[in-house]
Amino acid sequence: MMSPGAVLYTEMVTTGAILFGNKKRHLDFNDEEHPVALQLGGSDPSDLGQCARLAEDWGYDEINLNCGCPSERVKKGNFGASLMLDPKLVADCFLQMSERSSLPVTIKHRLGVDQQESYGFVSDFVGALENVGCRTFIVHARTAILKGLSPKDNREIPPLRYQDVEKLKKDFPSCSFILNGGITSSGELSYATDKLDGAMIGRAAYHNPDFLQVADQILFENKPRDTEEIIEKISEYAGKEIKKGVPLRCITRHLLGLFKGKPGAKLWRQRLSDSAQLEKNKSTFIRDTYTSLRASLSSS
């Protein structure tokens, strides 16, 4: 709704969860989410190939292999950022995924892992993937520190090295490089589109959804959507989900930042977090909350 031109990436879903768990729970999505990419976590080429086949059958538009997640749990499972230490294995995974599905397969990765943080390290990694046909890389422009830093610290402490992503773009002209990490302003968005091939926005969009509209204007030159129209569509969506048995609070908790930096933001968060009202699972709750917010602001 807020950025129609964007490609949506799922959270990382492990191959084991898909192959041995509830496939519908892990793979289902709404038609409104297109274009949508399934982000996979795994290191077994055969398992990833099977999941790629399922992704195509399920109607996804892209498959993404995560080689950048820095958590300890991921490290023990030999996937995520630790995969960068074995580019041949990643190449085998890519080939299996490409052979089992006609969807584009992309790679998300870091610039380095622990002490392996030279430009030559990431260049060799990208080169190994380019040799087997990978053409799109989403680069979190930091090193992943698997020993000693939490996933949260890994998003903030290792310094950003945008210049190394630029160098990759120059050294691999047949490939596309999407910039990830630290993109919180229009200036960084412009940099990603002027110097590289696009931007991936993560938590900045979650905590401040209006940033998606800023991105949409810069990347696709679209006009901002009307707030009332957005609220109406979200309310319609909530009504459908409630009928499926989804608790209303599972939807409203993702909307708390909708008015960040704008008048009434605190009041919006307070009213949307009213547990007594949320328990009623009323499909019009979001629309009613917005209407009362506007009334409160106009009378103050």
Q: Based on the residue annotation, tell me whether 250 is a catalytic residue of this protein.
A: no
Distance CA 166, CA 210 (A): 28
Q: Which of 51, 69, 93, 134 is catalytic?
A: 69
Which candidate, 298, 299, 277, places its Cα nearest to that of 288?
277
Q: Which residue has the tokens 């964007």?
A: 6
SS3 at position 208: coil
User: 222 in helix, strand or coil?
Assistant: coil
- Is residue 108 within 8 A of residue 129, CB to CB? The reply is no
CB 48, CB 64: distance < 8 Å: no
d(CA 56, CA 74): 25
What are the helix (H) ranges across the chain? 15-20, 23-27, 45-58, 72-76, 87-100, 119-130, 151-154, 162-171, 186-195, 203-207, 210-220, 227-243, 249-252, 265-272, 275-278, 285-299
> Quick one: tokens of 224?
């901002």
Terminal Cα distance for the chain, rounded: 30
Residues classed as catalytic? 69
